Chain A
Amino acid sequence: MDFDLSEEQRMLKDSVDRLVADKYDFDKRKAYLKNEHGFSREMWGQFAELGLLALPFAEADGGFGGGPVETMIVMESLGRALAVEPYMATVVLSGGIIRHAANDAQRAELVPMIAGGEKIFALAHHERAARYNLACVTTKATKDGDGYILDGEKSLVLNGDAADWLIVSARVSGGDRDEDGIGLFLVDARAPGVSRRGFWNQDATRSAEISLSKVKVEAGHVLGEPGKAFPVIERVVHEAMAALCAEAVGGMGVAHADTVEYLKTRKQFGVTIGSFQSLQHRAVEMFVFLEQSRSITYFATMMASENDAAERARAMSAAKVQIGKSLRFVGQQSIQLHGGVGMTYELRVGHYFKRGTMIDTLFGDVDHHLAKLSAMGGLIAA
């Protein structure tokens, strides 16, 4: 049991923190949002230079062999910055699928494309009818010689508009919600039959609705064994949930720090409002939520590499419940304690609140995961 970072982890943290401090204040972020696809290519290049894009891949594949702790470090920093670059879509989600499902030749081709920052990847998995059911895939993959033909509609594809490559889940057999029968396919985002409609999310990230009509996939672009992709998707989503918790902790930390700072400086009735006990106690309650979130994020991070899928699922559901509740409380109260000025678009607390609200719904909200965890018998064996 040791919560200290190793020397390498500390260096990683220092370098990401420095990049974010120097290049990612709230005004710069506003400028980055004006770029095509709503993020900064220059920043993406810096991520590549620092090795962040190669981080989770095996050294043999050209990566740095980082694990969940390294991802946590990066995501917490990106969360503090409210970074809009497609790190989750490309490195965590698509990178995760590549790590767990791609064969040697595919990894040799794809990992350098991500690690070097040349290509953006997106995971096109979610569909309109799925809500939070990861097995709900109606997009069809039909055998066509050595390859496949894909037909269907993908929805809310994170950074799907910016992507050069899409990793598409599609059904080779079984019913619409069967875990069995799902495959994963690498698709050139500009291939014939792919049409995309990009849009802004509430939190200034971007996603796309994607239609696939008779899209050809060559045999070399089938990732893993068609029909057996569900455990891979589930595992990658679990890793992404742990990463998302870390992002949430980063964001909540800033929202809380800004609020405490405001309590110390804002004067009313001739005194700083932080001298009022009801406001002090609220700030403490936010702090308790923040620290409990940090703690559960450590737990999720520790469990992200667990091989037992059921144990991993329990841990991730638990984490998502704690994080979702905390985001709501910290987000709402950071606005409340700022008073009127907290309502303004100009101030950053509102933007953390909006991002937090979206994080709760990514991969399942509080109620979804509470139901799931309790159906699995909770965390403590009777």
Chain B
Amino acid sequence: MDLSFTPEEIAFRDEVRTFFKENLPKDIRDKLVAGMHASKEDMIRWTRILNKKGWAVPHWPVEYGGTGWTPVQQYIFLEEQMLAPAPQMLAFGVSMVGPVIYTFGSEEQKKKYLPAIANLDTWWSQGFSEPGAGSDLAGLRTTAKREGDFYIVNGQKTWTTLGQHGDMIFMLVRTDPNAKKQEGISFLLIDMKSPGITVKPIITIEGGHEVNEVFFDDVKVPVENLVGKENKGWDYAKFLLGNERVGIARVGASKERIRRIKQLATAELDGDMPLIENQRFREKLASIEVELKALEMTQLRVVAAERTREKGKPDPASSILKIKGSEIQQQITELALEVAGPYIAPYRQETHDGWNEPPVGPEWASPLAPAYFNYRKVSIYGGSNEIQKNIIAKAILGL
């Protein structure tokens, strides 16, 4: 048992840190430090910088452009990316559909799609959730009917994150309406410019446009866009959701936010002293830091166990990462509100290119309330925390 990083791992961390310091564009970094979103253009710019270095898809097999890093190295890379802070790679491509394609897809699909994911030439969206199928994903009703060399797709997907930028969407569709719930589902890749597709924004509580509804009205999809076998889509979806776990705790991102809160609370006065010296405030902060340290160690335990775990089988303990990670992220946004005090109130419209109005009060205060409102999502998406508890109860406790 040796709980510290090896000298090689520390050297690797320093290499990554230095690369980020020298290559992450300042305007992108400043935007993220301020708590604003990276735009589509920012993400493309950063992904291409990483791709040139060979680091855009580090966790993929080497033959498809991966790095061959150990799980610990991959963890360090993700952590440094969050700490920088740099934009995360578009997960729908690199973490979701990419691994499905290189694991279950045809040679043509691999050639056509994988390099375009790594370079973010293709912006992928996810078409899983439906109005009637959220946590109970297998209840989905969008249909794909085979007609000659095409599937005809009808139905509706929802919560399609950043779908307004989407070039392609990967979908779960029902190909056998008579089969049992999980059987009869297929995994389709659809060009979002196809006739019959309509994308409508869903505006979330803070006023932002992050998610969408996508409607499918007799959309023609070539049969070569089916991944793997017809009616086996549920297996691929389970594989995909199992891969989603890496970095789900977002420890690095939470550390970066705590650092930011400390800087702001050192400058902000509470009466005649800096807010950071307010006993109650700083104890709340320390309390979150303790939970985060424990979570970091839990994350490392899961990462270390990856070496010995069967491939494609997610560690049920990663449900803990989701539960605790989301709770901590939410607590941090809550504490950030307290730093701004009354200046959380003025509403400022954020577009994806930044703010379009001058601030009322301190510049740094304006993103804090929107972030707090928006972050209520993290305990809901990717399987709500209640679903995670069901998973642990069943898979770990045997209840």
Contacts and interface: CB of A to CB of B under 8 A. Distances in A.
Contacts of A199: none
Contacts of B279: 371, 374
B398 to A, nearest CB: 7
Interface in B1-36: 1-6, 9
Contact of A3 (B304, B324, B389, B397): B304
B290 A373 contact: yes
A378 B399 contact: no
The CB with the most chain A CB atoms within 10 A, among B2, B286, B296, B303, is that of: B286
A371 B283 contact: yes
A98 B399 CA distance: 48
Contacts of B324: 288, 292
A51 B386 CA distance: 46
B296 to A, nearest CB: 8
Given A280-B393, A322-B294, A3 B1 contact: yes
Given A1-B72, A382-B263, A322 B290 contact: yes
A321 B398 contact: no
Interface string A1-12: 111111001000
A299 B283 contact: no
Interface in A351-382: 370-371, 373-375, 378-382
A291 B300 CA distance: 12
A198 to B, nearest CB: 36
A114 B191 CA distance: 75
B200 interface: no
Contact of A374 (B5, B263, B286, B293): B286
Contacts of B396: 287
Interface in B277-317: 279, 282-283, 285-287, 289-298, 300-301, 303-305, 317
Contact of A284 (B4, B6, B296, B397): B397
Nearest to A260: B397
A117 interface: no
A293 interface: yes
A3 B320 contact: no
B238 interface: no
Nearest to B264: A382
A2 B294 contact: no
Contacts of B262: 378, 380, 382
Given A284-B392, A382-B266, A299 B294 contact: yes
A1 B298 contact: no
B6 to A, nearest CB: 7
Contacts of A123: none
Contacts of B393: 280-281, 283-284
B368 interface: no
Nearest to B280: A374
Nearest to A379: B289
A92 interface: no
Contact of B293 (A277, A301, A371, A379): A379
A79 B310 CA distance: 32
A280 B297 contact: no
Contact of A280 (B282, B295, B390): B390
Contacts of B301: 3, 295, 298
A69 interface: yes
Interface of A: 1-6, 9, 69, 260, 263-264, 274-275, 277, 280-281, 283-285, 287-288, 291-293, 295-296, 298-299, 301-302, 318, 321-322, 370-371, 373-375, 378-382
Given A291-B317, A298-B297, 6 more contacts: A1-B2, A3-B304, A260-B397, A283-B399, A284-B389, A318-B293
22 contacts: A1-B72, A1-B303, A2-B3, A3-B3, A4-B304, A280-B390, A280-B393, A284-B389, A292-B291, A292-B295, A293-B294, A295-B294, A296-B294, A321-B287, A370-B283, A374-B286, A375-B282, A378-B282, A380-B258, A380-B292, A381-B259, A382-B263
The 4 closest A-B pairs by CB, nearest first: A295-B297, A382-B262, A374-B286, A280-B393
